[in-house]
Structure 1
Amino acid sequence: MTQHLADALPTPTGTRSGWWRDAVIYQVYPRSFADSNGDGMGDLEGIRSRLPYLKELGVDAVWLSPFYASPQADAGYDVADYRAIDPMFGTLHDADAVIREAHALDMRIIVDLVPNHCSDQHEWFKQALREGPGSRLRERFHFRPGKGETGEEPPNDWESIFGGPAWTRVEDGEWYLHLFAPEQPDFNWEHPAVQDEFRSILRFWLDLGADGFRVDVAHGLVKAPGLPDLGAKDQLKLLGNDVMPFFDQDGVHEIYRSWRRILDEYEGDRVLVAEAWTPTVERTARYVRPDEMQQAFNFQYLTCDWEATALREVIDGSLAAMRPVGAPTTWVLSNHDVTRHATRFANPAGLGTQLREPGDRELGLRRARAASLLMLALPGSAYLYQGEELGLPDVTDLPDEVRQDPSFFRAAGQDGFRDGCRVPIPWSGTQAPYGFGTGGSWLPQPDSWAELSVEAQTGDPSSTLELYRTALRLRREHPDLGAGDSVDWQDAPEGVLAFRRGEFLCTANTTGAAVRFPVAGEALLSSGAAVEDGVLPEEGVLPADTTVWWRVTSG
């Protein structure tokens, strides 16, 4: 085996094969986590300083959203240099320090990789513009002549995920493809230079000690031959519901097979995680076949309403789809692109993952706590989004003048309300920025967040933070949690989910009323009222919108 620089770096002491199968992975959105230099923007040194908090929380790995050199047209998902750190976040030395410190604390680091597109300030793209039509560098992107008598119409009818056409015309008359913002030109993955470049980028970060990659828009790299018209209006409504000429094309899988071969050269069980929006969990499973990635996000679960029948269908379907390929199912409730589940569940079902109303805060938090315990009881790997352990809601009343989400400034696309889940998290104190830093925060924090800070919740047994800490501790200690690929469903009243895993039993009441459901066992943890001596406050009764973990010994 080739000797790599990473072999000499500190690695997690608890190294075990397949660590990712039941790992709890915490997403850090760097600009909103912790600010070390008082400029109002989170940074890598801030992340490093808060790693002990994540260790105490009980997570196994940390996924870092992009921190690369970038003009920040889309919060760093427009990358100008994949081997450099944006000065707002620090230096490459700081990135190395984060990886080393995490490893010293027995946690792993997963970095975000953005291979579908780059920034329009990437040297390749700038040179392609300078060289003009026919340039060999333009072949690394999707440049095309337009339609119409003078080429005034886009080459096809594809729409940007952020709204408007997916094409922008340059001064010499050609058009280039961007499935997202105009500042994010799509790479042409049929070009060998693009493939070679990203294999080199993988090795760069693996040599630095990264434990894996979350692959952004993993379903989007390959486009259908000829870039055919989609022939449909309201294309955004089709996303995730159908195979499209620019998403989930079969050719992506050979790319990930070549990447997997690179990761397998390295020690330490490195991983690939797909952000792949697909029509079915069966198609998602194609990304995690034995010679491709190890994990894929379960968006069917993320978008599921808080309703027992729907949840059971998604859980069963997810486990069944992953079982034939031997991959673990992943579970996630929130991330940087969707409304936090404490706000989603505060609103009526069926409104989607982008909301503009705060809803019933008390109801949303109660359901969010219950949903989190249900998720953490399922077999597979769980993803947490920073601040959900504090019960943070979305900030739905941000002034227009402070918003930075590029989709907000376009006619349609993701509703333009992702800023609400990206507000910097509160650490301490009674006034903003609540210990985030000394110089304010890039998005304003609500006055009500003083009671939600890490400091305010630490040591309070009824707090959401202590609920998460206890749940993650029990998950580590209990052999039936996380591992495996199946659940044993139990008979339960309507609206209640109940499943066993060995001597462990999870019961989730998704209804708005208390339900009588006696359990012969010891209550370990409840998302609602505190458990006293293994007994719920009202014995034999599951409170409304509450999940309870039990230890049972009977058959």
Structure 2
Amino acid sequence: MTNSPVSPWWSDAVFYQVYPRSFRDGNGDGVGDLDGVVEHLDHLSNLGVDAIWLNPVTVSPMADHGYDVADPRDVDPLFGGLGALDRLVEAAHAVGIKVTMDLVPNHTSSQHPWFQAALAAGPGSAQRQRYLFRDGTGPGGIHPPNNWPSIFGGPAWTRVVEPDGSPGQYYLHLFDPEQPDLNWENPEVFDDLEKTLRFWLERGVDGFRIDVAHGMAKPPGLPDMSLTGNALLRNSDDDPRFNNDAVHDIHRGIRSVLDDFPEAVTIGEIWVFDNADFAKYLRPDELHLGFNFRLVRADFDATEIKEAIENSLAAAELAGSPATWTLSNHDVEREVTRYGGGPDGLAKARAMALVLLALPGAVFVYNGEELGLPNVELPDDVLQDPVWERSGYSERGRDGCRVPLPWAGAAPPFDFSTSHDVWLPMPTEWTDLTVAAQERDPDSTLALFRRAIELRHGRGSFGPGVEFLEAPPHVLSFRGTDGVTCVVNTGTTPTALPPGDLLIASAALDDGQLPPQTAAWVR
């Protein structure tokens, strides 16, 4: 008799996304930091998560809150320096929590020594070959090399002043001008990334979430694109800026390094919606996991939720990889607001939390999701996301989902910081949403998440898929391989639950039936 292979730790893990600026401020400067995460590891341990994903904490001018990396192998003093990360890794491992970091391979900061050297060296230099510098078109090179827009708004090209003071070449930046894209055809770029990967893995980091994992490789000749349907912060499957075949060679190179650290994991941010294309990223020699964002894009509707689940499972099955699920992150509107806001939005978000945690594969919970936080309507003068300025002040950007977490107390800053001057203002009405307040309430959203994650861990192996069961219109019912059924009612009238023991419900039952905007697990 042979033993069945043990699944990797990450295959059905619950990851908790820490947006470090907003988790907890440990030094009183109004900005969250890594020592703040250490201080509240008990919250994550009590929640029952298996791993942390840290948004960028490397050295950065913070034009895009850390996604503009000036030194990928050091921690910014804002977050406490390298020693603070070492303390976090040690403390998290001591309570059984893995630590993964954000990796940003598509671009650097414009303050990165490489880019500064490229500006100083001039056209045709080896330094410029590390980025995508091109001559302009038209008389005197007055027009950009192509018509590509930036994901953040405005053109994707910025013209530089050459060392002699003349108008010069343009450089490509798919995001902010302070985030120049790297030239992945230059072997120096991968050599440097390998140093970064090994630096962190050798310090005990357990893997990486890879930013813009469908980016990096650019099409030959950088052709013009159709601008129809181009939207800020998003790309489509026919967008030449992304999902070019050469990107898979880059991921194979990354995987070749990760294979020297067999317990480590890579998770790709993959905004690709064709299943066959998506599955390519999860081949055995590429990424371990990949975010499929269809559940984020689904409305609170039984048919849409089912289609999103079916699609995500099919894409993962094509690759022989576990599915990866999430409802929110630092780039999208919080689900309470996305589902309509107020009590109805919260009820739907609680129901979807049970759907999320019932699914096989890896699950990501964004900090504050476990508290039922909504998006915050912030005044114009505090907005910091570069999207706000780049869009000509027409797109408010992502700051509303990044407001700091409320921990305790009756007024801002709710023990997030000892300073009242926090990096984004907190709403006064969050008194009942603090961790301390919810810990006193057995029916709170925090209590729901803790119980659901505990039950999830007690279910053992989930298997690769789910069985969808017959259900009335506006009701979705699916059963895991362990016999636990998740039912969610997206309609307007109560519905009967299948026979069995009720394990958990997102709201009280209505005379034994599942109310609208509610989900439950039954064994």
- Shorter-chain TM-score: which interval? over 0.9
Question: Is residue 217 from structure 1 mapped to residue 236 from structure 2 by the alignment?
Answer: no
- 1:432 matched residue in structure 2: 412
Distance of 2:393 and 2:196 partners within structure 1:
30
SS at match of 1:508: strand
Q: 1:110 aligns with which of 100, 116, 120?
A: 100
Question: Is residue 548 from structure 1 mapped to residue 509 from structure 2 by the alignment?
Answer: no
CA deviation vs aligned residue, 1:44-84 (integer Å, no higher than 9, x gap): 11111111210110000000000111110000100000011
Q: 2:382 aligns with which of 386, 396, 402?
A: 402
- 2:487 matched residue in structure 1: 507
The aligned amino acid for 2:250 is I
Question: Is residue 290 from structure 1 mapped to residue 279 from structure 2 by the alignment?
Answer: no
CA deviation vs aligned residue, 1:180-221 (integer Å, no higher than 9, x gap): 000000000000100100011100000011100000011110
Q: CA deviation at 1:542?
A: 1.3
- 2:439 matched residue in structure 1: 458
Q: CA deviation at 1:386?
A: 0.1
Q: 2:242 aligns with which of 227, 244, 247?
A: 247
Distance of 1:294 and 1:102 partners within structure 2:
22
Q: 2:311 aligns with which of 312, 317, 329?
A: 317
SS at match of 1:31: helix
Distance 1:415 1:423, change over 3 A: same
Question: Is residue 340 from structure 1 mapped to residue 334 from structure 2 by the alignment?
Answer: yes
Contact 2:211 2:268 in 1 (8 A): yes
Distance of 2:44 and 2:235 partners within structure 1:
32
Distance 1:438 1:79, change over 3 A: same
Distance 1:369 1:414, change over 3 A: farther
Contact 2:328 2:335 in 1 (8 A): yes
Distance 1:187 1:56, change over 3 A: same
SS at match of 1:88: helix
SS at match of 1:188: coil
- 1:367 matched residue in structure 2: 348
The aligned amino acid for 2:346 is L
Distance of 1:210 and 1:518 partners within structure 2:
44
- 2:463 matched residue in structure 1: 484
Q: CA deviation at 1:233?
A: 4.1
Distance of 1:164 and 1:487 partners within structure 2:
44
- 2:360 matched residue in structure 1: 379
- 1:190 matched residue in structure 2: 185
- 2:158 matched residue in structure 1: 168
Distance of 2:493 and 2:335 partners within structure 1:
20
Distance of 2:59 and 2:479 partners within structure 1:
47
- 2:174 matched residue in structure 1: 179
Question: Is residue 300 from structure 1 mapped to residue 300 from structure 2 by the alignment?
Answer: no
Question: Is residue 201 from structure 1 mapped to residue 196 from structure 2 by the alignment?
Answer: yes
- 1:281 matched residue in structure 2: 275
Contact 2:148 2:225 in 1 (8 A): yes
- Give RMSD over aligned pairs: 1.5
Distance of 1:323 and 1:290 partners within structure 2:
12
Distance of 1:403 and 1:413 partners within structure 2:
10
Distance of 1:512 and 1:200 partners within structure 2:
56
Question: Is residue 421 from structure 1 mapped to residue 394 from structure 2 by the alignment?
Answer: no
Q: CA deviation at 1:379?
A: 1.0
Distance of 1:459 and 1:504 partners within structure 2:
29
Scaled by the length of structure 2, the TM-score of the pair is 0.95
SS at match of 2:77: coil
Q: CA deviation at 1:454?
A: 0.2
Q: CA deviation at 1:240?
A: 4.1
Contact 1:60 1:107 in 2 (8 A): yes
Q: CA deviation at 1:244?
A: 2.0
Q: CA deviation at 1:417?
A: 2.5
Contact 1:489 1:500 in 2 (8 A): yes
CA deviation vs aligned residue, 1:165-190 (integer Å, no higher than 9, x gap): 00000012110000000000000000
Distance 1:72 1:145, change over 3 A: same
Distance of 2:141 and 2:330 partners within structure 1:
38
- 1:132 matched residue in structure 2: 122
Q: 1:47 aligns with which of 25, 34, 37?
A: 37
Contact 2:324 2:363 in 1 (8 A): yes
Query: 1:350-365 maps to which residues of 2 (within 5 A)?
Result: 360-365=341-346
Distance of 1:332 and 1:478 partners within structure 2:
20
Contact 1:243 1:278 in 2 (8 A): no
The aligned amino acid for 1:543 is P
Distance of 2:122 and 2:50 partners within structure 1:
48
CA deviation vs aligned residue, 1:254-302 (integer Å, no higher than 9, x gap): 11112112111124x1011100111323322211111111111111121
SS at match of 1:416: coil
How many pairs were matched up? 511
Distance of 1:428 and 1:213 partners within structure 2:
31
Identity %, equivalent residues:
50
Q: CA deviation at 1:369?
A: 0.2
Q: 2:426 aligns with which of 413, 430, 445?
A: 445
